[in-house]
Amino acid sequence: MADYEFCKVEKEGRITIVTLNRPEVMNALHWPAHFELEKVWDAFAADPEQWVAIVTGAGDRAFSAGNDLKFQAAGNKIRRAKTGFAGLTNRYDLDKPVIAAVNGVAMGGGFEIALACDILIAAENAVFALPEPRVGLMAGAGGVHRLPRQIPLKQAMGMILTGRRVSAQEGKELGFVNEVVPQGQALEAAKRWANMILECSPMSIRASKQAVYRGLDQPNLENAIRTVYPAQAAMLESEDYIEGPKAFAEKRPPQWKNR
């Protein structure tokens, strides 16, 4: 497994765990980290043996405090990874599911990383905000677009226009958090969700994820339903499409082949 400077990557069976590893700056990220993480997600996407990913932060204080403003303020030339903040926020073709295990502060770009994931697990000490306007910026790594698509518009605008902080429990009430767990248990809870996903056909999971996100971009419900998406077409021709019903009929666990 490759060695990384700004993150740790571990594989547990078919689960890839990516840990943002700059605890000295609350896992804030600068452009070298973005390019490194771009390579990490490229490798995960290309590996047929890895079916689900979890992203978390080193330590218990922060998932990620977002953009490393001190690095930026020092006059370092900004370079942008084409796949966005943490190599993830502008990645629109990753059909494998990604789970955020948020342990502490998720501010600005850190919150945007979590919003780019499909499932969000938050420890009780998690805090979310898009505070960019307070420092003359905006949540341009997807926050101003993803948040209003995931929670009611007025609630999203209340966060975006004030930069106010939201607790894990309020995040669940608003709808962008799937589950709140005791401090220190976010990663284990994320693994539990990942293992539930692994019980399903990976072909079906990717077809479902792709259909959801591409369907949301369709002009109306009829178009979304009538469209056959590429991953859906691949699923219909796969061995898993036969294996699932066969295993059910034979009253045994399915043996997914991912092809």
For residues 71 and 34, what is the distance between their CA atoms, to the nearest angstrom?
A: 13
Nearest partner of 126 among 86, 80, 174, judged by Cα: 174
Residue 133 is encoded by which pair of tokens? 């306007």
Instruction: Establish how many alpha carbons lie within 13 A of residue 141's alpha carbon, considering only the half-sphere containing its beta carbon.
Output: 28
Nearest partner of 96 among 73, 74, 115, 119, judged by Cα: 119
Q: Is 147 helix (H, G, I), strand (E, B) or coil?
A: helix
Cβ atoms of 168 and 192 closer than 8 Å: no
For residues 164 and 134, what is the distance between their CA atoms, to the nearest angstrom?
A: 10
DSSP letter (8 states) at residue 77: P
Q: Pairing state of beta strands 179-181 and 119-123?
A: parallel
For residues 145 and 155, what is the distance between their CA atoms, to the nearest angstrom?
A: 13
Q: What is the chain's Cα-based Rg? A: 19
Q: At what angle do helices 240-249 and 202-216 cross, to 10 degrees?
A: 120
Catalytic residue positions, numbered: 112, 132
